[in-house]
A and B are shown apart, each in its own frame.
Chain A
Amino acid sequence: MKVFSSYDNGRLTIYLHGELDHHAVRGAAELVERLLGEYLPRDCVLDLGRLSFMDSSGIALILRLHRRLVAGGGRFWVENVGAQPLRVLDAGGIGRVVQIAAAKEAKQA
């Protein structure tokens, strides 16, 4: 699991690469916290375009980020979600809480 980021004009984009499971989520959450503390963004985008696997551990991370950003008066959404993570988010009904945009290839599924 790798975490990358870019920052532009109040918006922090976080890119997760690899597999996000219970084993990986703690390290990922720490890095994300550090980025949020460093940039203090108004809005935050989670880009899952290079995430090859995610389970319910990822749901907890996404809901936590959403709560944090919204509590600070900002916005949070998830982009570029591939087929497998999208099925997990759908099964969890997460789209009712957090705005989720599927990757182009995952959309027809």
Chain B
Amino acid sequence: MKRDNYLKLEFPSRSANEALARASVAAFASQMDPTLDELGDIRTAVSEAVTNAIVHAYPDTVGVVWLRARILDGEYLEITVKDKGRGIEDVDRARQPLYTTGGEDRSGMGFTIMESFTDRLRIRSAPGRGTTVTMQRRIRRKPG
């Protein structure tokens, strides 16, 4: 039953879908009985990953963003955000706080926030092929 439940979403890289993406994952995660802080962290991490796909992966076109959320071992929420956009040349550099190719409008803190709000962040990317961001966050079972 819910130990292997999952959610899959596919949507065009339009910014109006950012709110939809984080609300959908939050609704999915609610079956794990998260605290308000845990839910806030999940919404934020999803928003960062999805915004990156919309802003950086497809800067001049509308592409497709794939999102999956699933429950692992009953108490881990795994979130995967995938694009087939521009890709990242140097992932280690992109993960550095304040590193951005986005200019004034961006702060370069997205990956730093994803990292501090989840227990595990993995980024796989190939220039010209796309990027897959996978995050895991433990949602402890509540007693009773």
Interface residues of A (CB under 8 A from B): 19, 21-23, 25-26, 53, 55-57, 59-60, 63-64, 83-84, 87-88, 91-93, 109
Contacts and interface: CB of A to CB of B under 8 A. Distances in A.
Contact of B18 (A21, A63, A83): A21
A92 B107 contact: yes
A63 B43 CA distance: 22
Contacts of A21: 15, 18-19, 47, 51
Contacts of B104: 60, 64
Given A19-B19, A23-B15, A56-B109, A91 B116 contact: yes
A33 B130 CA distance: 35
Given A22-B51, A53-B43, A92 B18 contact: no
Q: With a 10 A CB-CB cut-off, give which of B22, B40, B41, B104 has the most chain A CB atoms.
A: B40
Closest 3 CB pairs of A and B: A23-B15, A84-B40, A59-B107
Q: How large is the interface on B (under 10, 10 to 19, 20 to 34, 35 or more residues)?
A: 20 to 34
B107 A60 contact: yes
26 contacts: A19-B19, A21-B19, A22-B18, A23-B16, A55-B48, A55-B51, A55-B110, A55-B113, A56-B48, A56-B107, A56-B109, A56-B113, A57-B51, A57-B105, A59-B109, A60-B104, A60-B105, A63-B107, A64-B104, A83-B36, A84-B43, A87-B44, A91-B113, A92-B97, A92-B109, A92-B112
B106 to A, nearest CB: 6
Interface of A: prevailing SS: helix
